[in-house]
Structure 1
Amino acid sequence: MREREAHQWAVSRSDGKVQPRSIKSATGVRTPVPLEDPAYERWEFLAGNALREMFYKPDHRLAGSDFFVEFPGNYEIYFEARAGKKDYYLYGHPSGDSYKAARDFVPHLFWLTTGSEDIKDCQCTLCKRSVAEHARANAPKRKTSKPATTKAASTAPSSNTTTPVPAPAVPVTSTAGPAAPAPSVPVVQQPSASPHPATSAHVPAPAPAAAVLSPAVSQAQSRPQAVSAQQPQPGSQPRQEIKPAAASSAAPVTPAPPQQQQQQHQQQHQQQQQQQHQQQHQQQQQRILPPVESVLFRDGEVVWFKNGASWRIGIIIRNVSANATAGVRAHCVIRPLAHAALVIPPTAKLEEEMRPFLAFSVPSVSNNLTAALGNKPIHEIDWEAQQQAMAAGDPHKKDMLGMEASKMAVLVIDGSYSTFNRQSVPEPTPTRTFYAGVFLGSERLTAGEAVRIRPSPGDPPSPKPYPNVMAIRAIFVETTAEGERLIFFGDVLRLEEVPLSQPPAIYPHNLPAAMVREKSFRDKVRAHAGVRHDWVPMPGNMNQNAMRLETDVRGRFYETEKLMSIIDPARLQESVGKGELVEVQQYLNNRTDKATTRTTNRSEALMGVLPGNELPLSFGPGIIED
C-alpha cells in the first residue's frame, strides 16, 4: 500500500481496546475504514513525521526523511459520512473516545514508547480527560456541620454550591525511585591484593541517572525509612537523631519568632522550587528514554531463530504486539544475517521459535572460505564478485555462502558496541558522557535494568550457581589518554535462599523489575520449604556504587520462568511441580571478555552484512542513535 520510500517507527506496546463495529455519534454512525483506504496511509505518515519532529533535530541526517508508523493493536480509523464528505476518527483508546486528527494521537504514541504505564504521564487530550474525570470521581466530599445559630447559618456557604476540588498534581513517574546522593569527591576504594581492573581507585563515581528505564519496584515494602535518611549527604552536616518526646508536664512550646518563621517559609519555598526544577529535569529526560522492555527479545538484538530443522542468526528489526481482533500473536520481525550481496526477506517468528544469542555457540567459519577471502574484514569484501565466483547461480551454494558469512557477521557485531539516547542527567563531565542504553555485542542493555557480572577477585563464592548481578544505575563512556571505555555504574548483588524467619535484606535503592519478578517466582516455587529469596548486596566497597567495564559484563539477566518457558517448558513444569528450581544460567554462555570496538550506531556494525539499501536501520522512536 505504501509506494513512497520511508522509515518506519516501531511501537511494540499497545493499550488499544476493541471497539464496536458501529458507533453512534451525535450526528450519525461511524464505521471502520478498510485498510486499503488512503486515509490509513495519510494518518500513518502524519503521525510518523510528527514523531520525527519530536526526536530529530533539524540538522540530523534523518530530519528530512519520511516516516510512518503502523498504529498499535486495536487502534482503528473510523469514518462518518456527513454533508457529502467523510470525517475520520481514530478509535482504540481505553476510554472509548476518539482522536479527531493524527497529531492528537502523537502524544499517546510517544507515551506508549516510554517506560510508563501510568496514564498521568501521557499528554494526549484523552488521557488528560480520563485523569481529570477519575480525580473528580474520587475527590473527597466536603462535609458541612449544622449551623449553631441563625447568624452562623447566614454566613455559611450554601450546601448546593460545591467547592471544586483541584486534581492532584500529576508527578512524573520516576522509574528509578529516589536517586542516591551524588558523590562530590573521588570515591577511594580500599586497597586489595589483586585490585579489579574495572574499579580504579582514583576514578570518581558518577551521579546516578535521575530517571532510568525499568519500573522501579521496591524489594522490601516495609523498609525502615531511616536506612537512607540517616546517611549524611556529602558536604552537609550530620543529621540529628529525632527522638519522640516523653510524656511529662513540660512547659508549652513557645512559637517561633516572626523572623524564624519567615526563614522557614523561605526554606520551604526554595525546596518547592528545587522539586519543580527536578521534576522538569525528569520530564525532559523521560522524552529521550527508550521503552520498557517487557518483551523477552528486543529490537536491534541479534538472536537465533528456527529455520526449518536448524537454527539461523538474525537481527530483530521490529517487535509486533498481539492483536486479538485480527488473530495476530505477538512476534518479532527478523532479518537473517548474511552478506551485502544476498537479499533475504525478513521473517516473522514467535518467541518459542527464538533463542538469545548467548544460548548457543557460533560454529567456526570455514577455513577454505577464510583463505579465499584473504582474511579481509566483512565490509571490505566484494560480495557480488565472491558470490558469483563461489555460487555461480546455484541457490544451495548461494545459501551456504550466506550462512558462512553470517558467522563472520556476528563476530563483528559481538565485538562492537554503540550507545543511544545521550543523557543530560547526570550532568556530563569533560571526560564522561552518559547514555540511557547501549547495544553491547548481540544484546541491548539499558540503565535501570540488570546484567550478569563476572565476579571480582575478592568476591566470596556464591552458595549456589546464582550469578552476580549488577543493578545498573548509569551507563557512560569515559575518555582517557588511552582512548574510550564503556562503564556501567551501579550495585552488585546476588540471590540468596534464606529461612522465612530471617529478617529481610535491606537495599537502599529500588531493584530492576526483572530482579523483583525473579525473586517472586522463586519464592512461590520454594514456599513449601519455608524459605524465601533475597537480593543481597555483595560485601566489599568495590561492589557498592561500583563501576564495571564492558569486559566484566557476562550478558543480560534473564528471568528463569520467562526464558525456560521457551527453552524447555516441560522441564520447567516438572521442576515447579516438585517445588524445585531449575537454573536457567546453565543454558547461557557468557559474552566475550575482550574489549570491543565502538561504532557510531548499530547500522555501522552491519556494514557488509546487509545490502546498503537496507541501512540505516531504525529501532523505533524511543531509540535515538548518534
Structure 2
Amino acid sequence: MASRKAKDIKAADNEFQYANATPIQIWRSDGTEMPSEYSQYEKVEEGAKPIIEWQNKLGQALAAELMAGATGLYFLQDFPSHYHLRWYQAKEDKKKHQAKHYYLFGYPEEPSASKARKYYRSPNHFLPHLLWLIGESQDRGDCALAKEEADIRPFLAFSIPQINAVLLDFKGKALAEINWQGLQDRFGTQADASRREGLAIEATKLAATRVDQCYSTFNPIQEVVQNYDVFGGIFLGAEKICAGEAVRIQLAREQQEHAAEKGLPVVMVVKRILISRLDGTLVFEGSLWKLQHTPLTQQPRASNQPQLPTAMLGEKEFRDGILQSRGWSVEWVLANQNMSVDESVIRGRFYETRRLTPILNPAKFEEMLHQKHVDDIQTLLNNRGDSNSPRVGRVLNRAQAVAGAVPAGVFHSLGPDVIEA
C-alpha cells in the first residue's frame, strides 16, 4: 500500500509540473477513423491519465528534435485529427488484474488490406510519423515508421551500392552543397516519377558514403596530453563510440596469427580518443583483448571480467551457455595493456553474437544453438570506410556530417551524454 501511495504522489507531482508547460499543436493529419470491427480496443477518454502521459512525452521529444537548446517543459496539445489512444486487455489478463495495454490508432490503410491494422505501441514509436506530419513531404514513404528490433541493424551490415556514373563527381560532398534543382532539371524528374525516385536513391547513397568517410568528436576531456586534444567519444562514420566501449580492430597478418584462436574475436577497449594538434591525426588508445577457449576442468585464472564493456561480458555469457555442454567456456584475455592505433585500424563497433546473428542470418543462429557451436559472425560486417568514396575526415559536428540529408532546421537529439566539440 505504501508503494502505491508513493506512485500516486509522483504522478500528481508530474501533472503539477506540466501545468505550466508550453503546448505544441500539430495541425496536419493523415489519420482515419478506426473501423467498427476493432471494437475490442476500447477508446481512452479525453483527459485520462494515459493520454496526458503520451502527450507530455511526445511534447518533450518534439522539443528535443526541433528546438536546439530548448528548456522547460512541453506537451502535445492534441493528437493529430482521427488519431485515438485505445486500450486492450485479454480476458485472462482481466482476471489477474494485469495492466492494460495502450495503442495509438489512426494510421491510414487501404480498406481492402488483409493484414492487421497498423498501430503505435509507445510515444517513441509514434514520434517519427509525427515528425513527418510536421514536414512538407506528401510521400508517406519518407516517414520512417525509429521499427521492430529485428528490422534494425548496424550501418556496417549494409554495403552501399555503386553510385550512378553521372554523379561520381559529387562523392564526398555534403548534400547541402549539391545543386539538386539543377540535377532535377537535367534529369527531368518533375514529369517522371520514376526518375525522381531514382535521383532520391542516388542522394541516399551519396549521403551514406559521406557519413562513412567522416567523423566528429564529442565530450572533450580536460586532460593534459602534449600536442593532443582528448575526447570521451566520437561519431566514427555512422557509429557512436564512447571511451570504455569495445571496437573491432584490423591487426596486421603476423599479429593476427599470434593474437587469438582462429574464429574468435580480438577487440580493443577504447580508453581515450585523441586528435593531434600538429597534423590532425586521429588516434585511439586502449587495451587489446582476445577471446580464448578454456576447459571447464581448468582452474580459472584471477578474473578482471567485471571491468569489461557490457558487450564483451554478454559475448562471454552467450558462448559459455552454448559451450558448457561440451565441457568448455571462454575467457577474455588481456593481450596488450596499452596500445595506440590510428583510425585506419578501427573496423567498427563490436556487436554481441546473440544480438547480431538473428538479424543477419536467423538460420545460422538456429544452427549455432542446435549444434552447440559459435561462428565468428563479425566477419559478415563491413569495415568502416569500406565505401568507395573520398575520405572526408573530421567535421565540426554530427549536423555537418548529415547536412542536406535531413530537412533544414531539424535538430536530432544526441542524448544528454553527448556534448559536441
Do Structure 1 and Structure 2 share a fold, with TM-score over 0.5? yes
Alignment partner, residue 560 of structure 1: 353
Contact persistence 1:498–1:532 (CA under 8 A): yes
Alignment partner, residue 406 of structure 1: 204
Distance 2:313 2:58 in 1: 40
Alignment partner, residue 599 of structure 1: 395
Contact persistence 1:489–1:547 (CA under 8 A): yes
The verdict on how the C-alpha distance between 1:69 and 1:580 changes in structure 2, with shifts beyond 3 A counting, is farther
Contact persistence 2:288–2:339 (CA under 8 A): yes
Contact persistence 2:263–2:375 (CA under 8 A): no
Alignment partner, residue 100 of structure 2: none
Amino acid at match of 1:2: I
Alignment partner, residue 246 of structure 1: none
Distance 1:351 1:471 in 2: 26
Counterparts of 1:193-592 in structure 2 under 5 Å?
Answer: 327-328=121-122, 344-370=142-168, 378-390=175-187, 391-424=189-222, 427-429=223-225, 431-456=227-252, 458-461=254-257, 462-480=260-278, 483-506=279-302, 510-538=307-335, 543-592=336-385
Counterparts of 1:84-163 in structure 2 under 5 Å?
Answer: none
Instruction: From 35, 47, 70, give the equivalent of 2:51.
Output: 35
The verdict on how the C-alpha distance between 1:591 and 1:484 changes in structure 2, with shifts beyond 3 A counting, is same
Distance 1:609 1:489 in 2: 32
How big is each residue's C-alpha offset from its partner over 1:369-389, in whole Å with a ceiling of 9 and x where there is no partner? 336x69966442111232243
Amino acid at match of 1:387: Q
Distance 2:58 2:204 in 1: 38
Distance 2:158 2:199 in 1: 21
Alignment partner, residue 608 of structure 1: 404
**SS state of the match for residue 466, structure 1?**
coil
The verdict on how the C-alpha distance between 1:620 and 1:528 changes in structure 2, with shifts beyond 3 A counting, is same
Contact persistence 2:171–2:210 (CA under 8 A): no
The verdict on how the C-alpha distance between 1:624 and 1:36 changes in structure 2, with shifts beyond 3 A counting, is same
Query: Greater CA radius of gyration, 1 or 2?
Result: 1
Contact persistence 1:2–1:41 (CA under 8 A): no
**SS state of the match for residue 321, structure 2?**
helix
Q: CA RMSD in A?
A: 3.8
How big is each residue's C-alpha offset from its partner over 1:259-290, in whole Å with a ceiling of 9 and x where there is no partner? xxxxxxxxxxxxxxxxxxxxxxxxxxxxxxxx
Gapped regions of structure 2 (runs ≥ 5): 1-22, 28-46, 77-119, 130-135
Contact persistence 2:229–2:276 (CA under 8 A): yes
**SS state of the match for residue 558, structure 1?**
coil
**SS state of the match for residue 344, structure 2?**
helix
Contact persistence 1:505–1:534 (CA under 8 A): no
Counterparts of 1:609-624 in structure 2 under 5 Å?
Answer: 609-614=405-410, 616-624=411-419
Amino acid at match of 2:339: A
Distance 1:374 1:521 in 2: 41
**SS state of the match for residue 613, structure 1?**
coil
Alignment partner, residue 625 of structure 1: 420
Alignment partner, residue 82 of structure 2: none
Amino acid at match of 1:411: T
The verdict on how the C-alpha distance between 1:333 and 1:596 changes in structure 2, with shifts beyond 3 A counting, is farther
Distance 1:384 1:2 in 2: 33
Distance 2:249 2:171 in 1: 37
Distance 2:280 2:290 in 1: 29
Distance 1:595 1:602 in 2: 16
Distance 1:375 1:48 in 2: 31
Contact persistence 2:58–2:127 (CA under 8 A): no
Amino acid at match of 1:475: I
**SS state of the match for residue 35, structure 1?**
helix
Query: Displacement of 1:506 after TM fit?
Result: 4.6
More helix by share: 2
Distance 2:50 2:176 in 1: 44
Contact persistence 1:472–1:491 (CA under 8 A): yes
Distance 1:68 1:595 in 2: 41
**SS state of the match for residue 544, structure 1?**
strand
**SS state of the match for residue 156, structure 2?**
helix
Distance 1:374 1:562 in 2: 33
Amino acid at match of 1:613: G
Aligned length: 321
- TM-score of the superposed pair, with normalisation by structure 1: 0.45
The verdict on how the C-alpha distance between 1:437 and 1:332 changes in structure 2, with shifts beyond 3 A counting, is farther
Contact persistence 1:333–1:346 (CA under 8 A): no
Distance 2:267 2:381 in 1: 15
Alignment partner, residue 2 of structure 1: 24
The verdict on how the C-alpha distance between 1:508 and 1:36 changes in structure 2, with shifts beyond 3 A counting, is closer
- TM-score of the superposed pair, with normalisation by structure 2: 0.66
The verdict on how the C-alpha distance between 1:378 and 1:423 changes in structure 2, with shifts beyond 3 A counting, is same
Distance 2:268 2:351 in 1: 13
Query: Displacement of 1:560 after TM fit?
Result: 0.4
Query: Displacement of 1:471 after TM fit?
Result: 1.4
